[in-house]
Structure 1
Amino acid sequence: MFSFDRFRHFLTVKTLINPLDPTFPSVAVQLPAANWYEREVKDLLGLRPQGHPDPRPLVLHGDWPEDLHPLRKDFPLDQHAPRVQSREAFMRYDSEDVTEIPVGPIHAGIIEPGHFRFGAVGDTILHLDARLFFTHRGLEKASEGMPVQKALFLAERICGVCALSHSIAFAQAIERAGNVTIPPRADYLRTLFLELERLYNHIGDVGNICAGFGFAVGISQGARLKEELQQLNERITGHRYLRGVVSLGGMRADVTEQEREDIYQTLQYVKKEFKELVDLLLTHDIAINRMATTGILRLEHANDLEVVGVAARASGRSVDIRRDQPYAAYDRVHFHVPVYKEGDVLARIRVRIDEVFESFSIIKQLLQQLLDGDIRTNIPNLTPYRSAMGWCESPRGETVHWVMIGPNQTVYRYRVRSATYSNWPAVPLAVKGNIVPDFPLINKSFELCYACCDR
């Protein structure tokens, strides 16, 4: 499925593959963004891309048997795969001047597992192999045969900090499959909570980026303001990460007049405090020096890999699915999509800062326009084997859920493409030529989670 932003339409391309010869011509050479997709479909379904430039396993790693494909229908959910001799391969260096530096998959911080293997001359990075998918949970397989209501519960747990984005993308897919139009108030509520999710993520990420160069004031202020926003989430929905607020056909959580006032007052305070933090950060010479020209992702690479979200917009790629394929109430509010051309850490933090202030504006508009009425409608009986797609601009970028309905209101097939999945291949390109101590800063500026890949 392809998205053509210029025409604001999606295009689905289908072909048949011979089950006796499950091969297809690779397009990854002409379309680099297809690299991971083709490797993943080889791992999980056994469909082999002929002529692929990188035939290494992606999701299943090298010690998984080559003839076992866990997303095939004949693979039992509870089957345990025997481990074989590993086929893992990393970049080989002939020069004695190149030092290999392995980092992870177990890290010193409270962080999910990822293995990063650097090839460096002195402290300058020549190449980075990033190895992910260490804790893949098989959620797409686990959803098969599951009632759609229960599958929503599963979708909401793909990622902790993008829980709402995932649940709304899944709900939209089911609603499109059933030709359901949710009530207008539910549209506004979804947009409101999505912007609250963006706010606590972006402000927290600004603090996390400060941790990459030891700016203690920024670290503590970012964490403090994120905590203010998460406490607001808990007061109005009962959950700091906004879980349990979405229903198929609308919303489970509403806001009262008192809660609207709480949102307004809290955001006024957070906005004032965040502006003070931004003024301090962007006038601090050492902070600017550490972020400017560090970890540059060039526009051509962002385009080749179809990078999305903050990382895309910081490199000059103007994509935002809230604007390009509007959903919920995004076509009823006004907002600006910030785009920078530098592609460095500073540009990525500037995009987040600008989007924080845009979110304050969007929420103010939503609170003023919030309509009375129902917040939920019923989902009709869904036609088996009909497929549909839902999408959402998570704090990290465009997240897409594709669902095929099974008999008796169940899931037959489920595919999740998170923003993180699109952006991880860009990180090795952004760190090349930088020094090894800058990797934590560059990595934090992308702020990609691992769970969104380990779905």
Structure 2
Amino acid sequence: MKSQYVDTIKKEFKEFVIGDPALINETYLTVKKDTNVMAYVDAVRKEFGGLITGEAVLRNEVYLTIKKDANVKICDYLYHQFNIPLVSIFATDERKKDGHFRVHYVFSCDREDAFIILKINVEEKSPRYRSITSTIPVANWYEREMQDMFGLVPLGHPDPRRLIHFEDWDAGLYPLRKDFDIKTKPKRVKGEYVYRRVDGEGVYEIPVGPVHAGVIEPGHFRFSVAGEPILNLEIRHFYTHKGVEKLFESIPFDKAVFLAERISGDNSVAHAVAFCQAIEKIAGVELPPRAKYIRTILLEHERLYNHLGDIAGIATDVAFAFGAAQANRLKEDLLQLNEYVTGSRLLRGMNTIGGVRRDIGDKKDKILLKLSTFQQEFRKLMELLMEMPSVVDRIETTGRIYNDIAKELHVVGPAGRASGMDRDTRRDHPYAAYRELNFKVQTHKSGDVYARTRVRADEVHESIAIIEQALWSLPEGAVKTGVKDIPDGCALGYTEAPRGETIYWVRTEGGRIERCKVRDPSFCNWLAIEYAVLDNIVPDFPIINKSLSLSYSGNDM
């Protein structure tokens, strides 16, 4: 009889029930704290009822299938009417099922911990759909990416140039279509990328890259300048695109965790956890409480050493060698602590589907002692940096990203929060043990290098507080739940990486990965640098670049 009551509740309120683990004779129903997301859905139904052809609610994800030509109106309605950010766009190849491709628009209802995903069908015979970039600028790279990888043409896109494919590649190669062989080698043809030109007396171009003097990966920057002030910057990336999303489709689930860890090497925990969460949601797996806390500790350890590296880089680029040396020394201490805790300086090999591979509870006292010493030294470092006139003069008002630009480009992470965007996945879509821990989302308003430095410094203290809370509250018990079979399904996984919001969407079918869409934070933030450098001088570019902490590897997947 008990199961009958539970089934009735789940049927009547299915959109609000997000978990139902059964323990002996007890069934726990996890429900959403706030159900305002359905108010948004109701508003869309009321305004565009005749254009909605299908609905589905999967955990905290509401899928609405809409008519293809309604995508601009409904996306614009959600984005502008309700101020709901568009966090990802991706395509799937479902021609074997019904002869269609599908384009998915993922909107994040932050305060409700929910997502609205709009879907449109695009016919194989006419792979075209209406671009939304003119009204929602963040769609720019997503639509160009789908054009290159799936051959789906966004009609009316203001900049339809290739994004990932280079001009000397033969046309008609669409690597993420199901009939594309991963071993294919593209034929080379004649072609050249046409950069934007700024004309005028005294205006000239400075090309930088794609090969750089240091050890960083390739990326091209073309500056238009008049003297020293920068009039325009255009970036060109994807020189080392690795075909990661295609690789996911050809490897088993356990190996896919290792692949996720290597998408962006210094954000390996964030990527692995996001992928594992998507699979765990599909499988209906509830993590042991201890595993949730350990994941949280690892995620914050990753944030700490990344922020120290960024602060060291900023100090280097303003020629404050002593401050940079101190920051790098503290970063090395954190990397050694990572190795002590997990056996890996970059925290790799710890996460697995269903939890974590190894326990860390017996190392609590040393972690707490090391972090206490580190925090004292970090405070002294920041006092040194922020009281040095030559440092402050170089970073204040430099590389500003104004709030409206940050919002339109969906700038994420510390870069977005430094421009007044109060968004943090740890709070807005709680995962791991963040729901049980207290922390403050650090924001700033000025949007310059100074603000981005301050946000990172403040987040260092918050991360230490989170780790301390998690260690003192670490529950007893197992660190992993066994997962035998992964059913067919789809789900989002997400984390707040050191660089910002990281999103995975995974579809499983027949015991394998059918589609895995990865959205690294740098995919959002790279375009922001084109605005951050305006009205600055060329020698300030390295500081601005470092303050945004952009990843080539995470972007060039």
Q: Which band: TM-score by shorter chain? A: over 0.9
Give runs of aligned pairs for residues 327-406 of structure 1, distance below 5 A. Answer: 327-384=431-488, 386-406=489-509
- Secondary structure in 1 aligned to 2:250? coil
Cα distance in structure 2, aligned partners of 1:294 and 1:92: 24
1:315 is matched with 419
Aligned equivalents of 1:142, 1:198: Cα separation in 2? 27
1:253: how far off? 2.1
Aligned counterpart, 2:240: 135
**Mapping 1:34-53, distance limit 5 Å:** 34-53=139-158
Matched to 1:80, the amino acid is: K
**Deviation of 1:67 (Å):** 1.1
Match of 1:442 in 2: 544
* Alpha-carbon offset, residue 256 of structure 1: 3.5
**Structure 1 residues 7 and 256: alpha-carbon distance in aligned structure 2, compared to 1, 3 A threshold:** closer
The aligned runs of 1:142-153 (5 Å cut-off) are 142-153=247-258
Structure 1 residue 5: deviation in Å? 1.7
Aligned to 2:4: none
- Compute the displacement of 1:41 (Å): 0.2
Equivalent residues in 2 for 1:177-256, closer than 5 Å: 177-256=282-361
CA contact (8 A) 1:197 1:242 kept: yes
1:202-244 residue CA offsets vs partner (Å, 9 max, x unmatched): 1111111111111111211111111000001111111000000
CA contact (8 A) 1:206 1:218 kept: no
Is the CA contact (8 Å cut-off) linking 2:196 and 2:234 kept in structure 1?
yes
One-letter code aligned to 1:429: Y
Q: Which runs of 5+ in 1 are unaligned?
A: none
Cα pair 1:105 1:116 within 8 Å, conserved = yes
Higher relative contact order (CA 8 A, sep 6+): 1
Which segment is superposed worse, 57-66 or 218-227? Answer: 57-66
Q: Are 1:152 and 1:170, in contact at CA under 8 Å, matched by a contact in 2?
A: yes
Deviation at residue 40 of structure 1 after TM alignment: 0.1
Letter in 1 for 2:113: R
**Residues 1:9 and 2:114 are matched in the alignment:** yes
Q: Paired residue for 1:277, among 338, 358, 381?
A: 381
Instruction: State how far apart, in whole Å, the 2-side matches of 1:320 and 1:270 are.
Output: 25
- Report the equivalent of 1:86: 191
Is 1:427 the counterpart of 2:427? The answer is: no
1:93 deviation in Å?
2.8
CA–CA separation in structure 1 for the residues paired with 2:250 and 2:144: 26
Structure showing greater Rg: 2
The whole-number CA distance in structure 1 between the counterparts of 2:351 and 2:243 is 23
SS of the counterpart of 1:415? strand
Letter in 1 for 2:512: T
Q: Give the match for residue 97 of structure 1.
A: 202
- Report SS of the residue matched to 2:122: coil
Where does structure 2 lack aligned partners over 5 or more consecutive residues? 1-105
Letter of the 1:50 partner, please give it.
Answer: L
Q: Distance in 1 between matches of 2:374 and 2:166?
A: 44
How many angstroms does 1:94 deviate by? 2.6
Q: TM-score, normalised by structure 1?
A: 0.98
TM superposition shift of 1:342: 0.1
1:255-286 C-alpha deviation (Å, 9 max, x unpaired): 132x1111111111111111110011111111
Quote the Cα distance in structure 2 between the aligned partners of 1:363 and 1:185: 13
Partner AA of 1:354 in structure 2: D
Aligned to 2:212: 107
Q: SS in structure 2 opposite 1:413?
A: strand
Q: Is the 1:400–1:416 Cα contact (8 Å) retained in structure 2?
A: yes
* Alignment counterpart, residue 135 of structure 2, candidates 10, 22, 30: 30
The CA RMSD over aligned residues, in Å, is 0.9
Distance 1:162 1:41 in 2: 25
CA distance in 2, matches of 1:96, 1:90: 19
Q: CA deviation at 1:405?
A: 0.5
Paired residue secondary structure (2:423): coil
How far the C-alpha of 1:91 sits from its partner, in A, is 1.1
8 Å CA contact retained: 2:354, 2:482:
yes
The answer as to whether partners of 2:425 and 2:495 remain within 8 angstroms in 1 is yes
1:256 and 1:14 map into 2 onto residues whose CA distance is 44
Look up the SS of the partner of 1:206 in the other structure: helix
Q: Is residue 2:513 matched to residue 1:411?
A: yes
Contact 2:113 2:430 in 1 (8 A): no
Q: Distance in 2 between matches of 1:61 and 1:272?
A: 49
Distance 2:367 2:516 in 1: 35
In the TM superposition, residue 86 of structure 1 has moved relative to its aligned partner by 1.8
For 2:505, give the aligned amino acid: W
Q: How many residues align?
A: 452
Give 2:171's aligned amino acid.
E
Deviations, residues 322-352 of structure 1 (Å, cap 9, x unaligned): 0000000001110011111100000000000
Distance 1:54 1:97 in 2: 27
d(CA) in 1 for partners of 2:231, 2:146: 30
Say if 2:499 and 2:521, in contact at 8 Å, map to a contact too: yes
Aligned mate of 1:74, from 179, 188, 193: 179
Report deviation, 1:87: 3.8
Higher strand share: 2
Distance (whole Å) between structure 1 residues aligned to residue 432 and residue 534 of structure 2:
39
User: C-alpha distance in 2, partners of 1:11/1:285?
Assistant: 47
Which residue identity lines up with residue 314 of structure 1 in the other structure? A
Cα contact 2:166–2:193 (8 A) shared by 1: yes
Percent identical among aligned pairs is 48
Question: Deviation of residue 383 (structure 1)?
Answer: 2.1
One-letter code aligned to 2:173: L
Contact 2:302 2:346 in 1 (8 A): yes
Relative to 1, partners in 2 of residues 1:301 and 1:342: Cα closer, same or farther, differing over 3 Å? same
Q: Hey, what's the Cα distance between the residues in 1 that align with 2:415 and 2:175?
A: 32
Aligned-partner SS, 1:398: strand
Query: C-alpha separation between the residues in 2 aligned to 1:374 and 1:48?
Result: 49
Alignment pair present for 1:62 and 2:167? yes
2:364 and 2:191 map into 1 onto residues whose CA distance is: 56
TM-score w.r.t. the length of structure 2 is: 0.80
Q: Does the aligned pair in 2 maintain the 1:114–1:133 contact within 8 Å? A: yes
- The answer (yes or no) to whether the contact 1:178–1:380 under 8 Å persists in 2 is no
For the 8 Å contact 1:135–1:454, the answer to whether it is kept is: yes
Say yes or no: does 1:126 pair with 2:224. Answer: no
